[in-house]
Amino acid sequence: MISIKDVAKHAGVSVATVSRVLNNSGYVGQDTRVKVEKAIKELNYKPNEVARSLFKKQSSTIGLIVPDIMNPFFPELARAVEDTAIQLGYNVILCNSDGDEKKEQNYLDVLQQQYVNGIIVSSNTLTAAQIERLNIPVVSIDRVISKGLPTIVVENKKGAMMATRFLQSKGCRRIGHIKGNSRVLNAKERCEGYMEIVGEEPWFNETYIAEGQYDMQSSIQATLELLQRHPDIDGIFAANDIMAIGAIKAAYQLGKKVPEDIAIIGFDGISLSKATTPELTTIEQPIYEMGEKATKLLVSLMEQQQTADPESYKVLDVTLIEREST
């Protein structure tokens, strides 16, 4: 590959001069600049980013670590992050951690070794200490790691309350909840929101809650068990859209019609929620906005060379989208 030396030779100047025109820094004579630019074009020279990174300890790259690329929520988020990052002049490295603590730590190491300028991460297991050790800006998205860290999340509890109350308003008498894994903070918050509304009802007890894994398979299983345990359930709040879709399938398997026999509401507002039959009523997160905000926040931290600031903990609002499943 062509290096800066080749360009310098071709243009009859020193590498220092070439570097100056490349970076628009320092003084360069008008005609020298032209000569160099010509050489660059003629040789189709592209500066070597690795060498650059080595010197600068920066790589114009941001890392994005997500727990489950197969859940459409994260591709949508990734899309937003990528769009925004590119607009701001950064590339993104997307990493899939599987929610596995070891993999997360490994990616953190890898990204740091690659001199990424900053990281956006969605994790349940990472601690504030692990992140502070990195000494580069990190924005936590979709899950809070510590209130002191830059964070973009939504009103999970409030959204869950809206969802549950909405089912009540639709006439549901017995409302079950398909919960995400207890170790996932937002799953816990959503469950709390549900409890807030039905916790004091005379019929309520914990067997109205079934736990899944934020994926469809586990949700089908959980819903089947839940509905067999309580055939009188006429409303389900599922902790995310994928699980809500699973719940619909499970209901059908038991011969129940949605929404006639049982109303089902999800959480996330992934674009898939419009694709099902019946279309899913859901609590919509502003997914694109979350990715965009997180990226802008991260970049601003990077450019101010700081790892946090008091303004950087943001809780976005959610919206109830009524469709056919309720």
Partner DNA sequence: TTGAAAGCGATACCAA
Partner DNA sequence: TTGGTATCGCTTTCAA
Among 38, 42, 54, 229, binds DNA (CB under 7 A): 54
> Inter-axis angle of helices 216-229 and 241-253, to 10 degrees?
50
| Least separation in angstroms between CB 302 and DNA | 16
Helix and strand totals (H; E) in the chain: 12, 12
Among 28, 47, 168, 323, binds a second copy (CB under 8 A): 47
| Least separation in angstroms between CB 118 and DNA | 18
| Least separation in angstroms between CB 197 and DNA | 55
d(CA 34, CA 40): 10
Q: Kind and range of the H or E element at 12?
A: none
| Least separation in angstroms between CB 154 and a second copy | 20
Cβ proximity of 11 and 38 under 8 Å:
yes
d(CA 208, CA 232): 11
| Burial bucket for residue 158 (CB in 10 Å: 0-12, 13-18, 19+) | middle
d(CA 284, CA 229): 29
* 42 binding partner (options a second copy, DNA, none; Cβ < 5 to 8 Å by kind): none
The SS3 call for residue 241 is helix
Question: Any contact of residue 13 with DNA (CB under 7 A)?
Answer: yes
* 229 binding partner (options DNA, a second copy, none; Cβ < 5 to 8 Å by kind): none
Per-residue interface string for the shown chain with a second copy, residues 109-148, x marking contact by CB under 8 A = xx-xxxx---------------------------------
Question: Any contact of residue 1 with DNA (CB under 7 A)?
Answer: yes
Question: Any contact of residue 31 with DNA (CB under 7 A)?
Answer: yes
Question: Any contact of residue 3 with a second copy (CB under 8 A)?
Answer: no
Q: Kind and range of the H or E element at 116?
A: none
d(CA 183, CA 212): 11
> Inter-axis angle of helices 185-198 and 156-169, to 10 degrees?
40
In the region spanning residues 264 to 323, those forming contacts with a second copy, defined by CB under 8 A, are 271-272, 274-278
Among 10, 62, 76, 326, binds a second copy (CB under 8 A): 76
Cβ proximity of 53 and 59 under 8 Å:
yes
Cβ proximity of 242 and 214 under 8 Å:
yes
Question: Any contact of residue 57 with DNA (CB under 7 A)?
Answer: yes
Give the footprint of DNA on this chain (CB under 7 A).
1, 3-5, 12-17, 19-20, 22-23, 25-33, 47-48, 51-52, 54-57
Give the footprint of a second copy on this chain (CB under 8 A).
1, 46-51, 53-54, 59, 69-70, 72, 75-76, 78-79, 82, 91, 93-94, 96, 109-110, 112-115, 216, 242, 245-246, 248-249, 252, 271-272, 274-278
